[in-house]
Amino acid sequence: MSFDFDAVVVGAGAVGLACGYALSKRGLTVLVLEKEGHIGQGVSSRNSEVIHGGLYYPTGSLKARYCVEGRRSLYAFLDSHKIDYRKCGKLVVATQEAEVAGIEAIFERATANGVENLEHLTGAQARALEPALNAHSAILSPESGLFASHDYMLALQGEIEDAGGSVVVSTPFERAEPLPGGGFTVTAGGEGGAALTTRLLVTAPGLQAQAVAARIDGFPADHIPAGHFGKGVYFRLTGKAPFERLIYPPPIPGALGTHYRKDLGGQAVFGPDLVYVETEDYSVDPAKAAEFERYIRRFWPGLPESALTPDYAGIRPKLHGLGEPQPDFQLRGRDDHGLDGLVALFGIESPGLTSSLAIGDAVADLLHA
């Protein structure tokens, strides 16, 4: 049977586009469907834009592997496509002796994960790099950085289109039905939408992962993991950025914790925190500034009064509830759900942006593309 497309990808965020890019590189004709009017308007537009080293994730997990591999591929992609980034490095800081064991455990894990060039720093060494910092001791990760993630997504779109594929916006995926001899009929486009056929189907719809999987005929409902929304807000500093490097205190349960970055525009941004919410609510409560100030002063005692202004919020597509252990990325193929030619992604929270190119390659491998 001949198909309209070799592969359809649902969702034009960083991960869906990276999947489309990986499949295009293997010679497939790819169609990426995006419900919004532009690419990259979902989770990929509301994050820290940090290129993570791969320090924190359990050794052997997909998060650890894809973060390290994805980071290496990402820097190479950014170089070859002339996309703006700053490999500024990161300091993971113990602000007091009680936090030293925590950052030591991170060092051990990061080393086991294959993170390169890590260094132990005393408080004095850390302050020699960042004079405004309060640090008992720190770990330096020179491989960490930040990048222009929207330019990255535009470059992925360009690669897909150069290979003969298409990225179509304002075209929501409605449903998919497996065809008897293999492949799928996909209906997309809302009212009066069209049906098309594809041999392979990838779902990368971020916060809508569960809803999209539920609209694939034959996808067993008990194989769709429960989803949760983990909201995080950011505050921006009025005034000069105090540090050059990313500054991360030890992680909080369920997230990496409120950190500092000097963004590519040179402005200082703090966040995100973690609060579970029921709906996609992107408001930032200005009253949270006091809580942020208390937290930030642990590593930056010089934070002036009333210098923080509410900035933006993002929502993590979480697979665990408050206080539950944080699961790995889930790339569900035929062995999980029984549908040949389908990979469904769930729980692609941080470090999904850093890992995106590695996730794309892993999805293409799972599909034997």
**Interacting residue ranges for ligand FAD, rule: CB under 6 A:** 10-16, 33-36, 41-44, 46-50, 52, 172-173, 204-208, 212, 232, 272, 314-316, 348-354
DSSP 303: P
For the CB of residue 305, give the shortest distance to ligand FAD in the complex, in Å.
26
For residue 76, count other CB atoms closer than 10 A to its CB: 11
Q: Which is nearer to ligand FAD, 137 or 249 (CB)?
A: 249
For the CB of residue 171, give the shortest distance to ligand FAD in the complex, in Å.
7
For the CB of residue 307, give the shortest distance to ligand FAD in the complex, in Å.
22
Q: Which is nearer to ligand FAD, 121 or 204 (CB)?
A: 204
Q: Which is nearer to ligand FAD, 72 or 127 (CB)?
A: 72
CA distance 3 to 197: 5
For the CB of residue 97, give the shortest distance to ligand FAD in the complex, in Å.
29
Q: Which is nearer to ligand FAD, 38 or 294 (CB)?
A: 38
In terms of phi and psi (left: phi > 0; alpha: psi -120 to 50; beta: otherwise), the region of 343 is beta
Rounded to 5 degrees, what angle do the CA atoms 125, 128, 132 make?
Answer: 115
For the CB of residue 14, give the shortest distance to ligand FAD in the complex, in Å.
5
For residue 168, count other CB atoms closer than 10 A to its CB: 12
For the CB of residue 164, give the shortest distance to ligand FAD in the complex, in Å.
21
CA distance 190 to 193: 5
CA 77 to chain centre: 17
Q: Which is nearer to ligand FAD, 24 or 44 (CB)?
A: 44
For the CB of residue 350, give the shortest distance to ligand FAD in the complex, in Å.
4
CA distance 255 to 141: 18
Alpha helices in 180-272 (DSSP H): 209-213
Q: Which residue in the block uniquely carries the two structure tokens 């525009």?
A: 265
DSSP 99: G
Antiparallel, parallel or unpaired: β 184-188 and 173-178: antiparallel
Q: Which is nearer to ligand FAD, 76 or 101 (CB)?
A: 76
31: phi then psi, degrees, rounded to nearest 5: -120, 125
Q: Which is nearer to ligand FAD, 101 or 211 (CB)?
A: 211
For the CB of residue 310, give the shortest distance to ligand FAD in the complex, in Å.
14
Q: Strands (DSSP E) along 162-297, which ranges?
A: 166-168, 173-178, 184-188, 194-203, 228-237, 246-248, 259-262, 268-271, 275-277
Contact indicator for 109, 265 with CB cutoff of 8 Å? no
Q: Which is nearer to ligand FAD, 317 or 341 (CB)?
A: 317
Q: Which is nearer to ligand FAD, 20 or 341 (CB)?
A: 20
For the CB of residue 357, give the shortest distance to ligand FAD in the complex, in Å.
11
DSSP 60: T
